[in-house]
Structure 1
């Protein structure tokens, strides 16, 4: 069953389906702030996220075309993440979320 037949044409449902999970917004924000970030540094900045959770969320974000994964065949292996042009289109929303949080955090 495709998205439209399940949820209709609601753009908010679509956005929520692409960005579901509590970590995706924060992952995008951390990648945006770093411009390009290695897996371990990203994981350390998101503690207490589990390795499996981060790995799955990154795979989903890559499949959605929001992040780019670059793997370098070195010893030890190196993987870096950056935002795609499509991913950059979410930054204004993230900036608004950040400003709202700064204003309302207790």
Structure 2
């Protein structure tokens, strides 16, 4: 599937990259799929406390359209759908690793390092 540009034309590579990861949940979806591998919708939702079903569906569709996520539908009753990262998604996740390190340092610097462990071991920063 060819990736599609929702905006474009872009003024630089950062602009193009931000178009793909824009939205609060996309980078967290990438992180969840990277850390836990193939996931069903309900597993993703449990791993991302606070995401609404509507927003998760919307982001997964956009990420599939952008070639970041593979959606596998199994022909069975009840229906079974699994999500996994594509090679393109894996490469984007690797590119985001440095941004994650920067964010972790920022959390330490501003005193937001205290975390609450949510479901499936997801760490949620506590804002002060």
Fold shared, TM-score > 0.5 on shorter chain: yes
Secondary structure of 1:89's aligned partner: helix
| Structure 2 counterpart of 1:3 | 8
Q: Answer 1 or 2: which has greater helix percent.
A: 1
Using the size of structure 1 for normalisation, the TM-score is 0.86
CA RMSD in angstroms, aligned pairs only: 1.8
Q: Residues 2-21 of structure 1 correspond to what in structure 2 (within 5 A)?
A: 3-4=8-9, 7-8=10-11, 10-21=12-23
Alpha-carbon shift at residue 30 of structure 1 (Å): 0.3
Long gaps (5+) in structure 2 = 1-6, 113-128
| Structure 1 counterpart of 2:30 | 28
| Mapped partners of 1:21, 1:98: distance in 2 | 16
Long gaps (5+) in structure 1 = none
Using the size of structure 2 for normalisation, the TM-score is 0.72
Alpha-carbon shift at residue 17 of structure 1 (Å): 1.1
Q: Which of structure 1's runs of 4+ aligned residues deviate more than 4 A? A: none
